[in-house]
Structure 1
Amino acid sequence: MPFWEFLAGSISGAVGLAVGHPVDTVKVRLQAQSVYKGIFHCIAKTHAKEGLHGFFKGMAFPVLTTGITNSIVFGCYSNALDYLTQSQRSDRNRGKSASAAHVFTAGCFSGLVQVFVCAPIDLVKVRLQGQTTADRYRGPIHCIATILKEEGPRGLFRGGLALALRDVPCYGLYFLPYEVTRKALTESGKEPGTFAILMAGGMAGVSTWAFATPMDVVKARLQMSGAGGREYNGILHCMRVSYREEGARVFFKGLLLNSLRAFPVNAVTFLSYESLMRLFFPPAT
């Protein structure tokens, strides 16, 4: 069973990423750079300087690798939930036996495991999205090589602690509203329908990013600090400097974009995942 859980997570993650990458690019630039006055100014400047291609910078690398990270997230979550509830995915009572504490704990576990793989991948994505010219990095491989040459292996994990502080609790929160919303929209004794899964996935994404955005801003700034951006000594230094110069609102940069992107991306991701799992493990009749 674990293989199919990981495979379904891999495919669903790639589908979801392809849907939301252009919006994610705008979000990263708003968070990491202070030259933009707002969402539409960023969009207009990006399009004027780089054309449509600018919105898809850095997409090839995460599309190729998101299968790994998402398979870890969904696979670890599902198997941790099975362990905590002493049930199997094919067990129709699994959802009933999983408490909020079970769901949150399994989600936190999946978030922790994926950080070790996701940190270098996310760093490369942010670096490629954040550059407004093609002078520094010619692609993901060149980006990795440059980081290793200039910063050493540790450089690939720049912003990793901020990523962990964002993802560990937020993946617990990510799966909790999904399970609650899906259950609320599903009649007792029946399998959740397409609408229930889409709404549950969308709500999971939006609610999670509401909590994740402040640390997401810090993460993006730390990741860009080694690529021509402002240098920070760590998480607390980044938070102090950002607050002093831009006020509390700086920690909510990109929240609107995160929310607009999160609903369709996570709705599609969860629908793809659930559809694939039903294909691999048809419900008992």
Structure 2
Amino acid sequence: MFMDFVAGAIGGVCGVAVGYPLDTVKVRIQTEPKYTGIWHCIRDTYHRERVWGFYRGLSLPVCTVSLVSSVSFGTYRHCLAHICQLRYGSPDAKPSKADIALSGYASGLVRVFLTSPTEVAKVRLQTQTPCPEPKYRGPLHCLATVAREEGLRGLYKGSSALLLRDGHSFATYFLSYAILCEQLRPAGHSQPDVLGVLVAGGCAGVLAWAVATPMDVIKSRLQADGQGQRRYRGLLHCMVTSVREEGPRVLFKGLVLNCCRAFPVNMVVFVAYEAVLRLTQGLQAAPRGAAGTAMPTWQGPGVAVLTRL
């Protein structure tokens, strides 16, 4: 079980490295009405800040994502084992799809307590306009400034929207990954091959972000609402104000970008996760297929669930 934490941590770091530039564009589109679309934001960011502009606030997520990813995967596996123990008398009993979704939901809720402060710092740095004397000099300075000016509540600003976002999205994430792996595994095999893991991981990420985007928009706006005059009194006020001023489509700002980013990011996350497990556990080639060629054995979180479905 310990290696699941290690593999999840490395997979999470790889995913951040791949998806962060598009995440910056997504946050700016969601929080700054001046941008008319993805390419407008990309061109404007590159023109004003060059490549570095897409990586503002990266250091803190990279430093913390390993812990967050470990907690997410670990919570999911432990929660699923406890549910099976309670419902079926054994942690290795066959779980239902509802068990998988509930475990994923718990994983999303737990990570909020770790990610909320880093999300605040990330959003503030991503939306900070370049100037000779920026308000925030870096992630740690941003966290210290927010804590000093806004108190502990400032570090957890938008956490209500974050709870709603991550709970439902992680339930969708793990459930869809398990179902897709089951559908994509080769005939006669209990586990999917490399291509199956790539496709299942990418599609699961897309589906999860499709569910998460409305609350992600509200979360980003609440967390960015501290630079200058505050506009929003809370989650409902932010949602009502945003919809009234910009229409219902505002809740889906960044949806295309989120989905485009989610596919390669989650492909990388799961492939890195599986590769680390194989390396650390010294796994050998999987059972040979009909043609006699070796196929890798995948033991990721979703696949481990599938072997008991």
TM-score greater than 0.5 by the shorter chain: yes
| 1:189 CA displacement | 3.5
Q: Secondary structure at the match of 2:279?
A: helix
How many residue pairs were aligned?
Answer: 279
1:247: which partner in 2?
247
* Mapped pair 1:228 → 2:218: no
Shift of 1:230: 4.8
Q: 1:131-176 deviations in whole A, cap 9, x for unaligned?
A: 1225111101110111011001111000011100111121111111
Provide the residue aligned with 1:8 in structure 2: 7
Letter in structure 2 aligned against 1:33:
E
Is this contact kept in 1: 2:83–2:99, CA < 8 A?
Answer: yes
Cα distance in 1 between the residues matched to 2:268 and 2:130: 32
Q: Which amino acid aligns with 1:45?
A: D
Q: Which amino acid aligns with 1:163?
A: L
Match of 2:99 among 99, 102, 113: 102
Q: CA deviation at 1:228?
A: 2.9
Quote the residue 2:162 is aligned against.
163
Report the CA distance between 1:4 and its aligned residue.
1.5
Task: Measure the CA separation in 1 of the matches of 2:28 and 2:58.
Answer: 14
Unpaired stretches in structure 2, ≥5 consecutive residues: 86-90, 288-309
Map residues 86-125 of structure 1 onto 2, 5 A cutoff. Answer: 86=85, 97-125=94-122
Query: Structure 1 residue 229: deviation in Å?
Result: 6.5
Q: Secondary structure at the match of 1:228?
A: coil
Contact 2:181 2:191 in 1 (8 A): no
Q: Over alpha carbons, which structure has the higher Rg? A: 2
Unaligned runs of 5+ in 1: 87-92
Identity %, equivalent residues: 49
Quote the residue 1:56 is aligned against: 55
Residue 183 of structure 1: CA displacement? Answer: 1.4
Amino acid at match of 2:58: M
1:90 equivalent in structure 2: none
TM (norm. structure 1) is: 0.93
| Post-superposition offset of 1:18 | 0.3
SS of residue in 2 equivalent to 1:192: coil
Aligned residue identity for 1:194: V
Counterpart amino acid of residue 221 in structure 1: R
For residues 143 and 21 of structure 2, what CA distance do their matches in structure 1 show? 22
Determine the C-alpha separation between the residues in 2 that align with 1:146 and 1:153.
11
Task: Look up the match of 2:295.
Answer: none
5 Å-filtered alignment, 1:50-199, equals 50-86=49-85, 97-134=94-131, 135-187=134-186, 188-199=188-199
Q: Equivalents in 1 of 2:216, 2:96: separation in Å?
A: 28
Q: CA RMSD in A?
A: 2.1
